[in-house]
């Protein structure tokens, strides 16, 4: 028989899709606030937890609601709120969890002294939530522990059992009241409420901006961070390790993301490509087929070259639409590309023109030799790595740019390509 699971492990899987996304983005937001010497965990000791450099812990329960009031705003957190009391119940079980080594009063009180509990929700604060109000008054020494206990006794008594939701609240209030005074005193001192936490993605972007990232790079940095975190999560889950990361590891993992975000270079974005239906009918593919660089049935290679072409076309258009480059800069880039091609074309076909004038070769031999020169031109072009505004495109997208130009019949490989394919 395996080791019994702790309450932390049992409750961590209770998620809805939107709630899961909300929890993840709050984790990411909190991670970007991490300080030196701290570490953060995701679904380890709670939905999210932070281990401070002092050895103390902050446990966070993340609750998201899609319920709205008549004015379309998110509902309030009420004193009988199911999320509130489910959270309290979970924390009671975590604190008293024998499977986590807390088998007696002494160990539980020690845990309470060293732990802060935060309920995070997009629900709004309510002035009529007397549970939250009394907790705040107790922490400000305005009321006593007996005052809170009296309030809870009244709340439990006034909660009718006919309503299933309120019945759950009644049971959880009873569970809380069953704890010792020492336990309750420490618990109430260490509870906090982080409500109205909405628009988390925008708050994450603000955190990214605080790292001296320009507005036009924020989306890219967020994408890179998300990709990095998803890889980290996948690797840890695959190895069966806990999802916990230190400040130093966060800095190491995200350093490149922020460095690229602060760079003046253009962001190289990965875009999803939808391939055309008739791959072999693309003009650039026909040009490659005619010089026997590829074969009609070479599907994988044709898909690869088409992907290169579409990636660079989409990338240039996104830079233009986002204002990262101007139309004049794009046109200048294409003129430079065509100048590269023109030089390679002239060099490769200088001999082709002499071959056409010669009487030493048959028509078939001349065609084959000119085809070989076209391949030399193509090979030379494929070795060129292009730049846009001092940003390296890399060899794949550089090749894709030349495929795009040949697809638009601005360049070609055979000597008389314009006549052959028509404008």
Q: Mind giving me the DSSP string for 132-163?
A: HHHHHHHHTTSS-HHHHHHHHHHHHHHS-TTS
Q: Nearest-5° angle of CA 155, CA 159, CA 165?
A: 120
Contacts of 24 (CB under 8 A, 6+ apart): 42
Q: 250 and 311: one domain?
A: no
Q: Name which of 99, 101, 94, 95 is nearest 4 in CA terms.
A: 99
Alpha-carbon span 307 to 285, nearest angstrom = 12
The sheet carrying 57-63 orders its strands as 191-194, 115-121, 57-63, 48-51, 39-42, 244-246
Residue that is last in its domain, among 227, 258, 289: 258
Q: Which helix (H) or strand (E) holds 191?
A: strand 191-194
Give me the chain's average pLDDT, please: 89
Distance, C-alpha 274 to centroid of its chain: 22
76 vs 270, higher pLDDT: 76
Residue 225, domain member (yes or no): yes
Alpha-carbon span 109 to 115, nearest angstrom = 10
Alpha-carbon span 133 to 423, nearest angstrom = 77
Can you tell me the mean pLDDT for 299-321? 93
Residue 63, domain member (yes or no): yes
Using the predicted structure, report yes or no on whether residue 12 has a pLDDT greater than 70.
no
Residue 344, domain member (yes or no): yes
Using the predicted structure, report yes or no on whether residue 144 has a pLDDT greater than 90.
yes
Using the predicted structure, report yes or no on whether residue 49 has a pLDDT greater than 50.
yes
Q: 305 and 196: one domain?
A: no
Using the predicted structure, report yes or no on whether residue 8 has a pLDDT greater than 80.
no
Q: 289 and 249: one domain?
A: no
Token pair listed for 380 = 């030379």
Residue 270, domain member (yes or no): no
Alpha-carbon span 78 to 65, nearest angstrom = 13
Residue that is last in its domain, among 258, 288, 317: 258
Q: 254 and 322: one domain?
A: no
DSSP string, 47-86: SEEEE-TTS-EEEEEEE----B-TTSSBPB--TT-HHHHH
pLDDT band at 206 (very low <50, low <70, confident <90, very high): very high
214 vs 176, higher pLDDT: 176
Domain of 353 in residue numbering reads as: 279-421
Residue 289, domain member (yes or no): yes
Q: 159 and 27: one domain?
A: yes
Can you tell me the mean pLDDT for 267-284? 86
Number of domains in the chain: 2
Residue that is last in its domain, among 225, 258, 291: 258
Q: Picking from 3-12, 382-391, 393-402, which range would have the lowest pLDDT averaged per residue?
A: 3-12
Residue 271, domain member (yes or no): no
Token pair listed for 83 = 């999320």
Length of the chain in terms of residues written: 423
Q: 312 and 221: one domain?
A: no
Alpha-carbon span 86 to 88, nearest angstrom = 5
Q: 170 and 121: one domain?
A: yes
Q: 111 and 180: one domain?
A: yes
Q: 193 and 305: one domain?
A: no
| 100-104: long-range contacts, CB 8 A cutoff, minimum separation 24 | 100/6, 100/7, 100/8
Residue 156, domain member (yes or no): yes
High-pLDDT (> 70) share of the chain, %: 95
Give the per-residue pLDDT at 2: 47
pLDDT band at 5 (very low <50, low <70, confident <90, very high): low
Buried-exposed string 154-174: b where 16+ CB fall within 10 A, e elsewhere: ebbeebeeeeeebebbbebbe
**In angstroms, what CA-CA distances link 51 with 40, 42, 55, 401?**
6, 12, 6, 50
Give the per-residue pLDDT at 166: 53
- Total-model pTM: 0.66
Q: 240 and 354: one domain?
A: no
Q: 253 and 288: one domain?
A: no
Residue 145, domain member (yes or no): yes
Contacts of 243 (CB under 8 A, 6+ apart): 41, 42, 43, 44, 232, 233, 236, 237
Q: 306 and 200: one domain?
A: no
Using the predicted structure, report yes or no on whether residue 130 has a pLDDT greater than 90.
yes
Using the predicted structure, report yes or no on whether residue 15 has a pLDDT greater than 50.
no
């Amino acid at each position: 028989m395996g080791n019994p699971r702790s309450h932390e492990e049992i409750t961590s899987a209770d998620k809805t899709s939107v709630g899961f996304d909300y929890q993840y983005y709050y984790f990411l937001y909190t991670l970007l606030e991490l300080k030196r010497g701290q570490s953060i965990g995701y679904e380890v000791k709670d939905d999210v937890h932070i281990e401070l450099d002092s050895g103390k812990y902050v446990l966070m329960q993340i609750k998201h609601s899609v319920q709205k009031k008549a004015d379309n705003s998110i509902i309030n957190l009420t004193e009988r709120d199911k999320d509130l009391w489910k959270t309290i119940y979970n924390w009671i079980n975590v604190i008293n969890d024998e499977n986590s080594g807390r088998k007696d009063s002494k160990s539980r009180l020690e845990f309470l002294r060293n732990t802060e509990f935060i309920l995070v929700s997009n629900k709004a604060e309510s002035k009529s939530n007397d549970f939250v109000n009394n907790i705040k008054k107790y922490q400000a020494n305005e009321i006593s522990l007996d005052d809170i206990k009296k309030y809870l006794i009244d709340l439990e008594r006034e909660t009718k059992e006919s309503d299933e939701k309120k019945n759950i609240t009644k049971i959880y209030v009873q569970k809380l009241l069953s704890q010792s005074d020492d336990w309750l005193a420490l618990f109430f001192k260490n509870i906090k409420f982080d409500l109205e936490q909405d628009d988390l993605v925008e708050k994450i972007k603000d955190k990214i901006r605080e790292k001296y990232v320009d507005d036009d790079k924020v989306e890219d940095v967020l994408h890179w961070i998300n990709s990095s975190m998803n890889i980290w999560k996948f690797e840890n889950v695959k190895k069966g390790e806990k999802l916990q990361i230190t400040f130093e590891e966060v800095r190491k993992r995200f350093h490149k993301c922020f460095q690229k975000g602060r760079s003046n270079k253009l962001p190289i974005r990965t875009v999803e490509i939808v391939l055309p239906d008739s791959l072999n009918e693309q003009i650039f593919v026909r040009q490659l087929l005619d010089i026997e660089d590829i074969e009609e049935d070479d599907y994988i290679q044709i898909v690869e070259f088409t992907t290169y072409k579409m990636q660079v076309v989409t990338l240039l258009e996104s830079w233009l639409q986002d204002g990262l480059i101007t139309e004049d800069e794009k046109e200048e880039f294409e003129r430079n590309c065509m100048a590269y091609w023109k030089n390679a074309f002239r060099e490769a076909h200088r001999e082709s023109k002499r071959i056409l004038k010669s009487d030493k070769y048959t028509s078939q031999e001349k065609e084959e030799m000119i085809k070989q020169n076209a391949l030399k031109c193509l090979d030379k072009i494929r070795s060129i790595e292009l730049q846009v505004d001092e940003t390296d495109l890399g060899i794949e997208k550089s090749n894709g740019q030349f495929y795009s130009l040949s697809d638009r019949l601005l360049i070609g490989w055979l000597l008389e390509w314009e006549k052959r394919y028509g404008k």
